[in-house]
Chains A and B, each alone.
Chain A
Amino acid sequence: MRAALYFLCLLLNAASPVMAGGQSLAELQQVNVLLQAEYDLAKSGKPYLVINLQDHQLEFKTSGLPLEQWSIDSYRRWGHPSAMRPASLKIKSALAEPKREVQVVSATEPSGETAEKPFNALELTDMPTSYRLYLDNGTTVTVHPVSVSWFDSLRSSLAVPAWYLSRPFISSWNFLRGSPYNELALAMPAQDARRLYWAFSEGTPCLIRLPAAEATASAPATAGTNR
């Protein structure tokens, strides 16, 4: 019996990832890849988004400088962790997309109108709170607001099992089409969701940092670093 326990302890010890200062090798490696990607982006001076699932936080940065931070209330993830690699926003999609007001005028026929027009502009309140962000690495980020009423809470609690039951079907369908399916569903406060939609424009790079446990799951057999 005692021998069996020793053997079990040995097995557990062998299976545990290499730790350094509380961080596993896989986590350090993930951080290394992300930091390298962030350094390249910081050098370019372009704005970029860091989705930090470990700290439940979104950071909009330029030159390594956090311009704005938003909180993630909760998240769900579907797909292999390795798919969450650096990417750029390809397209944004929402059921109620904000519309720009278009004024058509003619230079050859000036109207001579001087009357004050009603104030109409594209503002933060016009931004949607539920939308999808398609990244160029095939990952879909869905954003929805945090439930505030009991009806919303009930609906979202029913939506969770439905979400997990429907994803395998979407994965299978996408496999047949030849493209893997990865999704990240974020629940955010409504105002933060609007501000993310406003700031995160097409072509903006995005980095996703996974929690330590998930980073370990995506670890390759050998560790590698380039800096």
Chain B
Amino acid sequence: MNIWQMILNNTLNRVRLWRWARPHWPLRRVLICLTGVLVLVELCGSYLAYRGGVSAAVAAVPQKARTAADLQSANERLLKKIAGQKPAGEYLVIDTARNRVTLRKGDVILRDMTASCGSGNVLEDPTSGRRWVFDTPRGQHRILSKVKNPLWIKPDWAFLEAGEPIPSKSAERAEPGAMGDYALGLGQGYFIHGTLYKRMLGRNVSHGCVRLGDEDLAHLYRNLPIGTRVFIF
């Protein structure tokens, strides 16, 4: 028995499982094989995970060798181009999770407002097969219209939700005062408007529109022109 065999035996004899399996040579062999397989899988798995290969992202790029200085100037140009995509004037950012609306210009927050955004609830009418999801639409929008003393033309879901029959005449749908003093249209029936339920500001309670307090709404109505960008997330 050489020195290495002695060291291995001494080390293995310290392991209780190995000592227990001493009288059973087949069991020892199974243990040795199992350990070998485990080590092999660990090594193979690590190799497979980290083995080389040209980055697909970089491979997609036309391979034209450039120097570090070229790359640096190209990156600076790209940074300027990205910065050029930012809105030039004032814009609105609506955080539907925290129910906050911020009026910003560049990186400066000009006004921080509490709002009520979509509840995320679903209304289904099995008889007609219609389904409404009350989410505030995310993405980039623009203020498309500005209305003073808006009149809410109640859609079908408002009647269904209230358990009322849907009227046949459109005049019966009008409800003055429900949207506050002003409304800023974002398109597809979504508005930034006022609310009668001011105590619910800061909660997700609306049917998709963005509700604001009277002062904040008046400020936005007076200061933001049509075409102002609105980012909702």
| Residues on A facing B (Cβ under 8 Å) | 18-21, 23-25, 28-29, 31-33, 35-39, 42-43, 45-47, 60, 62-65, 67-68, 78-83, 85-86, 100-108, 110-114, 119-124, 127, 137, 165, 167-172, 175, 180-182, 194-195, 198-199, 201, 218, 220, 222-227
B63 contacts A107, C-beta separation under 8 Å: no
20 extra interface residue pairs, beta carbon distance < 8 Å, beyond A29-B58, A65-B85, A81-B55: A18-B68, A33-B58, A35-B82, A39-B82, A63-B87, A100-B122, A105-B123, A110-B159, A112-B164, A114-B162, A119-B205, A168-B42, A194-B97, A195-B97, A220-B54, A220-B58, A223-B66, A223-B68, A224-B65, A227-B74
Classify the interface of chain B: helix, strand, loop or mixed. mixed
Interface flag for B15 (CB, 8 Å): no
Question: Known: A28-B75, A106-B127. Contact between A168 and B44, CB under 8 A?
Answer: yes
29 example contacts (A-B, Cβ-Cβ < 8 A) are as follows A19-B68, A23-B72, A28-B75, A29-B58, A32-B75, A32-B78, A33-B61, A39-B81, A47-B138, A47-B231, A80-B49, A80-B50, A100-B120, A106-B125, A107-B128, A112-B163, A113-B162, A121-B120, A121-B204, A122-B119, A122-B204, A168-B43, A172-B45, A182-B49, A220-B58, A220-B59, A224-B58, A224-B65, A227-B77
B160 contacts A105, C-beta separation under 8 Å: yes
Which of A18, A19, A47 sits near B233, CB closer than 8 Å?
A: A47
A79 contacts B49, C-beta separation under 8 Å: yes
A23 to B138, CA, bound (A): 37
Which of B44, B83, B124 sits near A172, CB closer than 8 Å?
A: B44
Question: Known: A65-B87, A82-B56, A199-B233. Contact between A114 and B163, CB under 8 A?
Answer: yes
B123 contacts A168, C-beta separation under 8 Å: no
Q: Pick the 9 closest A-B CB pairs, nearest first.
A: A168-B45, A122-B120, A20-B68, A82-B55, A85-B57, A121-B119, A111-B163, A35-B78, A171-B45
Question: Known: A68-B95, A172-B48. Contact between A42 and B120, CB under 8 A?
Answer: no
User: Chain B contact residues (Cβ within 8 angstroms of A): what range?
Assistant: 35 or more
A19 to B74, CA, bound (A): 16
Interface flag for B215 (CB, 8 Å): no
B129 vs chain A, min Cβ distance (A): 11
What are the residues of chain B within 8 A of A37 when measuring CB–CB?
Answer: 57
Interface flag for B23 (CB, 8 Å): no
